[in-house]
Amino acid sequence: MVTNQRELTLEIRTADCYPVLLADTKNQAVAAIHAGWRGTAAGIVPTAVEKMAALYGTHAGNLVVAIGPGIGPCCYEIGREVAQQFAPMLMQNRHGKLYLDLAMANRQQALQLGVAESQIEVNGVCTFCQAEQFYSFRREKEQAGRMRSLIGIA
């Protein structure tokens, strides 16, 4: 979702997937993105930035990006079919199992678009590990609640 309307607040609900929030501080526009592995593999962050460019004249150099919290590479075990979608540098192999760093995948995409490294905040806290702080779909299955991530223009 993208908007430049001050009366709107965009909200993403997640439990392990990553919320990615974008703010174009020059043209006063924002985006709220739900980035699971499918969306990330499909380039949902670049797609949102293209949309913001078309609608609001956004340049990646004017973006501030917030990524997470979501499931971390400590816990996000993936199968081969998911692994095929991502560059090897985004995965860790521990005891023959593959773990994906989905935050890093989205960060890399933002960097490739031209977002300044200093303008990207990766929360870095794992929703699966931190049971007292966060909901986790992998941990709680259908019982999992959702975290709300919101962005608007003040």
Which residues form the interface with Zn ion (CB under 5 A)? 72, 74-75, 126, 128-129
Nearest distance from C-beta of residue 76 to Zn ion, angstroms: 7
Task: Report how far residue 135's alpha carbon sits from residue 6's, in angstroms, rounded to the nearest whole number.
Answer: 30
The alpha carbon dihedral of 75, 38, 87, 43 has a sign of negative
Nearer to Zn ion by Cβ, of 17 and 52: the residue is: 17
Q: Is residue 30 packed enough to be buried (19+ CB in 10 Å), middle (13-18) or exposed (0-12)? A: buried
> Closest residue to Zn ion, Cβ-based?
126
Nearer to Zn ion by Cβ, of 109 and 136: the residue is: 136
Nearest distance from C-beta of residue 128 to Zn ion, angstroms: 5
Nearest distance from C-beta of residue 22 to Zn ion, angstroms: 25
The position carrying tokens 């702080």 is 133
